[in-house]
Structure 1
Amino acid sequence: MFEPASRSADAATIEKCFEALKQMLACPDANVRDAAGIRVTPWLLNPACTDVVRRFARPVTLMDLRRAAGP
């Protein structure tokens, strides 16, 4: 959902995607957190996503992006 919404600049869908990702990253179930961190977070680290991340990412997602980017 992120990719087509980003390409079309569909702000409402992008916001929903970031909200869903935030919920997944905050989930007590490690399987859910890992799925988000393994599949979605690396995609958001792509330089093409920088503007979308800056505009829509909130603290939980930003923290996971920093973790995934490493030192």
Structure 2
Amino acid sequence: MAAKKPSKPWRLVLSTAGGPVYTAHRSKPAAYRAIEEEKQRVADGYSRVVRIAVEQWDIDGSRWQRVEHAWQKGE
């Protein structure tokens, strides 16, 4: 039986010293807006995220698939 597509098929993987934190988003533009917001929180000193990756739900494979490494601290 195939896995059901999640209602928020885009997610960010926020890498921190304590491990990954996942945030789900309904669309690709919403995910990329969230990246910009997280980068601003890092710049302001409110977040300890060191890397952000974007994943999308793969309907055929019934799993999350990495789309890109969107940002890394120090870049």
Higher helix share: 1
Q: TM-score, normalised by structure 1?
A: 0.41
Higher strand share: 2
